[in-house]
Chain A
């Protein structure tokens, strides 16, 4: 149980392209999803918290117009990297948390984004 699917797993595209990454909770409802960015051999950096039906909460220093987050249903959140540039190349990971109590976050497999 508690499976989170993230798609695509790998994206290579040209500079200036917008890229959408999907995060789905397959067997549970997630009112809250999280988006992280991870550089090689470093820790996960929280970018934003996505709440179903409301605006995402962005961490300090993260450009909300650059990283658009939509959480339209209890099982789907999307992250769109708009007009991506080489410095946006990174590993992006989503997680979803089941509603209630002390439920842990369950992570997707991540998306490796490479901007040429």
Chain B
């Protein structure tokens, strides 16, 4: 079974600074997908970024980028130029290749607070 570990329950960052959220996972699969979801106080789950395991290039979405280390089974999220609206709970998630099912396995989450 796959497991996802987020070792940072809470983090704080000053507005405009950069912060990195860590995520590690355990799987015997070779083909899979990794995601970062954001859940602001409104409770809606918002997809931030995703990475396909077969792609070596790290995914980027504007101020959000990942450091995907497949051998180390690590998938960290870097948020640059942090904004107050980035305050939320962030979940790292794993999904096997859709051919083998579509279930997401979530980490425990990291609460990120951006301070002005």
CB <8 Å contact, A109 and B106 = no
Given A43-B109, A102-B98, A104-B50, residue A49 in contact with residue B33 (CB < 8 A): no
Does B104 belong to the interface (CB within 8 Å)?
yes
Give the tally of cross-chain contacts (CB within 8 A): 52
A67 at the interface (CB under 8 A from B): no
Find residues 72-112 in chain B having any chain A CB closer than 8 Å to their own CB.
89, 91, 98, 102-104, 106-109, 111
The residue among A43, A49, A104 with the most chain B CB atoms within 10 A of its own CB is A43
Q: Check if A77 is an interface residue, CB within 8 A of chain B.
A: no
Whether B109 pairs with A42 at a CB distance below 8 angstroms is yes
Question: In the assembly, what is the distance between CA of A106 and CA of B106, in Å?
Answer: 14
- Which of A42, A91, A105 sits near B108, CB closer than 8 Å? A42
Given A42-B109, A43-B106, are A110 and B98 also a contact pair (CB < 8 Å)? Answer: no
Shortest CB-to-CB span from B88 to chain A, Å, is: 12
Query: In the complex, which residues of chain B have a beta carbon less than 8 angstroms from the beta carbon of A41?
Result: 89, 109, 111
Verify A101–B103 contact, CB threshold 8 A: no
Interface size on B, residues (CB 8 A): 22
Q: Are B44 and A46 in contact (CB under 8 A)?
A: no
- In the assembled complex, the Cα of A109 lies from the Cα of B91 at a distance in Å of 16
B104 touches A110 (CB 8 A): no
In the assembled complex, how far is the CB of residue B76 from the closest CB belonging to chain A, in whole angstroms? 18
Closest residue of chain A to B105 (Cβ to Cβ) is A46
Contact: B106 with A34, CB < 8 Å? Answer: no
Find A105's partner among B43, B89, B102, B111 (CB 8 Å cutoff).
B102
Q: Are A32 and B102 in contact (CB under 8 A)?
A: yes
20 contacts between A and B (CB under 8 A): A34-B102, A34-B104, A43-B106, A43-B107, A43-B109, A44-B91, A44-B104, A49-B102, A49-B103, A93-B43, A101-B98, A102-B50, A102-B52, A102-B98, A104-B33, A104-B35, A104-B47, A106-B47, A107-B46, A110-B43
Chain A residues in contact with chain B, CB under 8 A? 32, 34, 41-44, 46, 49, 91, 93, 95, 97, 101-110
